[in-house]
Structure 1
Amino acid sequence: MKPAASLQRRLGLGLTLGITLLWLLATAGAGLVVQHELDEAFDSALEETAQRILPLAVLEIVNREEPRALQHIASLQAHKEYLTYLVRDNHGNTLLQSHDADLAVFNAQPLEGFTTTSSHRLYAASALRKTVFIEVAEPLAHRHEAAWGALQAFLLPLLLLIPLSLFGTWLLVRLSLRSVLAYRRAIETRGAGDLSPIKAARLPAEINPLADAVNHLMERLRRALEAERSFTANSAHELRTPLAATLAQVQRLRREIPEGPLQERATQIEASLRELARLSEKLMQLAKAEGGGLLSETPQDLLPLLAHVVEDLRRTAGGRLHLQLPSTEAVLTTIDPDAFAILLRNLIENAMKHGASDQPIEVSLSSTALLQVVNAGPLVPPALLAQLSERFVRGPGQAEGSGLGLAIAAAIAQGVGARLLLASPAPGKTDGFAVSVQFAPA
């Protein structure tokens, strides 16, 4: 599944790219305006130069001994000449020219006013009743160079402004979305069983109704789950006392009646009542597993808890339980001791019921808070293995059980943020069943 795009990144990049694009468009528009203004200024300079030089050139030509003779104006010092001029008569004869003038850039015949060639911009004016003409030429490359220089003056600041605007936009968006990010963190950090309202201050007006709707939905879900858990726990608790009393009466009745069919029926009733009592106990454990109170306020050492539960179950398991503890002094987690005892007891009882009766049950705890319960026995099909942690789902064996043991263990693991894995065959073996629970070390 493609990951969702970050709103902060989307806004930051979108605003920065939008501002950059607007700046580039504004710079292009300003470049066109500058180009137009530069053309007007250069054209005015051409016209002014021609009108100032022409009277002086006419005076110099008239005072010559040979008016029709060509004369070059010498340069006072070497320099790059952007404006060159050419003075001719009405027959096209050259009378006067600047020292760097190239005749190829001028028109074959003088034309008054502005003209443009492929490489130059020219202006021509006349005097003495259009018998003397002057043309001033300017390279177009000079104009393009000036326009490009002006455009660079607009573009170069963008190299600094674009990263600054990106940082500024990102900072502004982050500050604006600070309350939304805090709301997201509040959702991410809470546990799966925490359905209390999410407190978030100063949310944007667009997000605030969504937060209210989520809180209302979580409140309705919390009430529904509490009603279900309360019903389960109360039902199991209310059944415990009458079941115990009825079981005692049946046991007393079974001892008083003589041998025969009636006593066999009493024995069957006793077995059914015992199974019902176990079911009510499992339902109470399930209600606790799916409720709150699974986490301890202070870190708990699992080593003594594990040793105590295993020692208690050895009375019914005989010598089948093999316990392996790490060499560390303590294995600390934040699980509630009662919740850990319920989880471990259900895992071991599941191994005792469904595992091979003549094979050991290996219980181990690593220094990294990895709990493993491994037993020998028939393989569990993969399709069934994926459903074993659900309620009232049992393995392929004929052993008695309610199908709630692994469901209770899975609910507790989920409530404390642990990872429960089922495997068949057991790791390193060709058969058997293994349950691994990885707790988060404190």
Structure 2
Amino acid sequence: MMIHVFPAGRLCSLRRALLLWLLPVFVLVGAASAGFAYWTYNRMVATFMDNQMELIAESMVAQEQDMVLPALTGEQIHKWGSYVVQVFDADGSPRSNSWLGLAPSLQPESGFHDVKANGAPWRIYTTPVNESSGSRRVQVLQSGEFRRHLAAERAGTAILPVIILLPLSAFVLWCVAAIMSRAIGDIARQAASQDEHSIAELPLDRVPQEIAPLVVSFNSLLTRLRDAFAAQRRFVQDAAHELRTPITAVSLQLENLRGDFAAGAPAQRFAQLEAGVQRAQRLVDQLLRLSRQQSVGAESPSIPVNVHEVLRESINTLIALADQRNIDLGMEESGLPAEPTMLTCSSGDLRSVVDNMIENALRYSPEGGVVDVRVTKSQGKLAIEVADTGPGIPPELLGRVFDRFFRVPGNDVRGSGLGLSIAQAAAQRCSMRISLRNRDDRSGLVARVETV
């Protein structure tokens, strides 16, 4: 049966588990140490005091004459542990007593006794009957409370370092567990920073030995994942390259055959065939662009890029497509800041985002439509918006258009379904996010990319 060290639920924590298991051990060890120290010092004090009492009693018995006993007070007896001396005749009659607060009472048997008098415990030593001592017998008493207090005091002094060590050990344990948690957190953050473009093994130089096998296993998984991504990119790139040549050849053959078909049904079927080939050619081009982005996306340097220049270059490149479809394409200059708007990212990634957004707007807007490009900056966030006059997208499908090869059903516009996926990946590398919304003032779509 497996024993679970970590509790379930919210208490499943390394620090809590260490405290849960080790603090009771510390407390038990401290309590056992305190009990053992008290028992040891109690025996030590009892042995020492008993020897003192016996020596005092025997020395007084050995005296030929009676000694004048000094009068004692209750504070001397109970607080300082002074001995009470009582001298008796052979018949048990008291002869002298050093403390009047305790009535003389001779014990019938000699030796040590533990008795209770005046509501308090006493330790008594009574001398045996000895003919050489004449008719005297001596009895020495000491407060039992004083003995217990003395043993407890000595035991407390001995156990004090352990008592101080308990909270200190708990604090050190908590700090060490926190440091271990941070070390594990660093490993987790390094693992979370991995993406498909920069998969690297986690370093093992500062990994605890207990966690090292887990990190090694994770590194092995990362290696296999990196190889799988590389194989996928090579396959897409190789397939696109291999398809590009025959599709280009077919396109040229179709161009040569266009004049050989008479008007009517043959010409219509030829136009459909030509449209299919063009769509396949566009799909291959998009696959090549996607493969190139995946291959060099992590290596592209991030530099300050003039956003307005990138927008103007993209518009100048796509103006031919806009003129072909009689679409009014332009950038709104009103409200633009006097200084250039700069964005730190890869210029190629930003151009890819802008090109895909504008090209999609041109393709989905009807002939004679309008495509407006504008730049806004609010609360430190930069945003680029491309608004078209196309049919828009059903609200329930707005989240799916970023999926690869997904196309809105019922749309006859030729496309590959990769444009927005490519743009979203490039925007993420620029620390930006693309969002789509349908226009409120008229039919159409607004594509917005903004910094996060």
TM-score (norm 1): 0.75
Q: Of 253, 258, 266, which residue of structure 1 is paired with 2:257? A: 253
Equivalent residue letter for 1:282 = Q
Structure 2 partner of 1:95: 95
Helix, strand or coil: the match of 1:373?
A: strand
User: Is residue 2:119 matched to residue 1:123?
Assistant: no
The 2-side partners of 1:108 and 1:328 are apart by 112
Which residue identity lines up with residue 149 of structure 2 in the other structure? E
> Who is 1:412 aligned against?
426
Q: Distance in 2 between matches of 1:53 and 1:151?
A: 33
SS at match of 1:80: helix
Contact persistence 1:379–1:431 (CA under 8 A): no
CA positional deviation for 1:354: 5.0
> Shift in Å at residue 164 of structure 1?
5.7
Summarize the alignment of residues 151-166 of structure 1 with structure 2, pairs less than 5 Å apart: 151-158=155-162, 161-162=165-166, 165=169
* 1:315 to partner: Cα distance: 4.3
Structure 1 match to 2:328 = 319
The structure-2 alpha-carbon separation of the partners of 1:193 and 1:307, relative to structure 1 and needing over 3 Å to count, comes to same
| Corresponding position: 1:387 with 2:400 | yes
The answer to whether structure 1 residue 80 and structure 2 residue 86 are counterparts is no
Name the residue aligned to 1:44.
51
Partners of 1:125 and 1:134 within 8 A in 2: yes
| Superposition deviation, residue 394 in structure 1 | 2.6
Counterpart CA distance in 2 for 1:213 and 1:80 is 75
Alignment CA distance shift 1:283-1:274 (3 Å): same
Code of the residue aligned with 1:313 in structure 2: it is L
CA distance in 2, matches of 1:4, 1:237: 56
Q: Where does structure 2 lack aligned partners over 5 or more consecutive residues?
A: 1-7
SS in structure 1 at match of 2:301: strand
One-letter amino acid of the structure 1 residue matched with residue 310 of structure 2: L
RMSD over aligned CA atoms reads: 4.4
Question: For residues 335-346 of structure 1, what are the structure 2 equivalents within 5 Å?
Answer: 336-346=346-356
Partner secondary structure for residue 311 of structure 2: helix
Cα 1:161–1:330 shift into 2, 3 Å: farther
Q: Any conservation in 2 of the 1:380–1:424 contact (CA below 8 Å)?
A: no
Query: CA offsets, 1:321-377, max 9 Å, x none?
Result: 54575665453323x322322222223333444578856545435485644435466
Q: Which residue number corresponds to residue 312 of structure 2?
A: 307
1:230 Cα deviation (Å)?
1.6
Q: Deviations along 1:175-195, whole A, 9 cap, x unmatched? A: 999997775564344445222
Residue by residue over 1:201-225, the C-alpha shift from the partner in whole angstroms, topping out at 9 and shown as x without a partner, is 3755544444443333323222222
- 1:387/1:393 contact within 8 Å kept: yes
Letter in 2 for 1:332: L
1:60 counterpart SS class: coil
CA distance in 2, matches of 1:242, 1:373: 38
Q: Hey, what does 1:65 align to over in structure 2?
A: none
5 Å-filtered alignment, 1:333-372, equals 333-334=344-345, 336-354=346-364, 358=369, 360-364=371-375, 366=377, 368=380, 370-372=382-384
Distance 1:258 1:385, change over 3 A: closer
Contact 1:424/1:431, CA 8 A, preserved across alignment: no
Offset at residue 412 of structure 1 (A): 3.0
Structure 1 residues 225 and 173, CA gap change in structure 2 (3 angstroms):
same
Residue type of the alignment partner of 2:407: R
Q: C-alpha displacement at 1:54, in angstroms? A: 4.4
Separation (CA, whole Å) in 2 of partners of 1:395 and 1:439: 27
* Residue aligned with 1:46, SS: helix
Deviation at 1:301? 1.2
Query: What does residue 113 of structure 2 align with?
Result: 114
TM-aligned CA distance change 1:327 to 1:2, over 3 Å: farther
2:385 corresponds, among 358, 366, 373, to 373
| 1:410/1:144 CA distance change after superposition, 3 Å | farther
How far did 1:96 drift? 1.5
Contact 2:86 2:139 in 1 (8 A): yes
Give the percent of matched residue pairs that are identical in Structure 1 and Structure 2. Answer: 25
Aligned AA for 1:235?
A
C-alpha contact (below 8 Å) 1:84/1:138 kept by paired residues: yes
Calculate the TM-score normalised by the size of structure 2: 0.74
Residue 279 of structure 2 is aligned to residue 272 of structure 1: no
Q: Which residue of 1 aligns with 2:342?
A: 331
Contact residue 424 and residue 434 of structure 2 kept, 8 A: no
Give deviations 1:37-65, integer Å, cap 9, x for gaps. 22222333333333334455x8429xxxx
Residue identity opposite 2:204 in structure 1:
A
**How many residue pairs are counted as aligned between the two chains?**
423
Instruction: Name structure 1 gaps, 5 residues minimum.
Output: 62-70
Measured after TM superposition, the shift of residue 33 of structure 1 is 1.8
Name the aligned partner's letter for residue 98 of structure 1. Answer: S
Q: Which aligned pairs between 1:168-187 and structure 2 lie closer than 5 A?
A: 186-187=190-191
**What do residues 42-93 of structure 1 show as CA deviations (whole Å, max 9, x unaligned)?**
333333333334455x8429xxxxxxxxx97435x99623232333457664
**What does the per-residue CA deviation read over 1:367-391, in whole Å, with 9 as the maximum and x for residues that have no partner?**
8564443546646334x33433221
1:242 CA drift (Å): 3.0
CA contact (8 A) 1:46 1:122 kept: no
In structure 1, distance between residues paired with 2:358 and 2:160: 74
Query: Is 2:431–2:451's contact at 8 Å kept on the other side of the alignment?
Result: yes
In 2, Cα distance between equivalents of 1:267 and 1:4: 69
Q: CA deviation at 1:261?
A: 2.0
CA distance in 2, matches of 1:331, 1:200: 39
Report what 2:236 is aligned to: 232
5 Å-filtered alignment, 1:395-434, equals: 395=408, 398-400=411-413, 401-414=415-428, 416=429, 418=431, 420=433, 422=435, 424=437
Separation in 2 of the partners of 1:137 and 1:421? Answer: 95
Partners of 1:392 and 1:402 within 8 A in 2 = yes
CA shift, 1:12, in A, is: 8.6
- How much does 1:284 deviate? 1.6
One-letter amino acid matched to 1:60: D
Taking a change above 3 Å as real, the CA distance of residues 328 and 30 of structure 1, as seen in their structure-2 partners, is farther
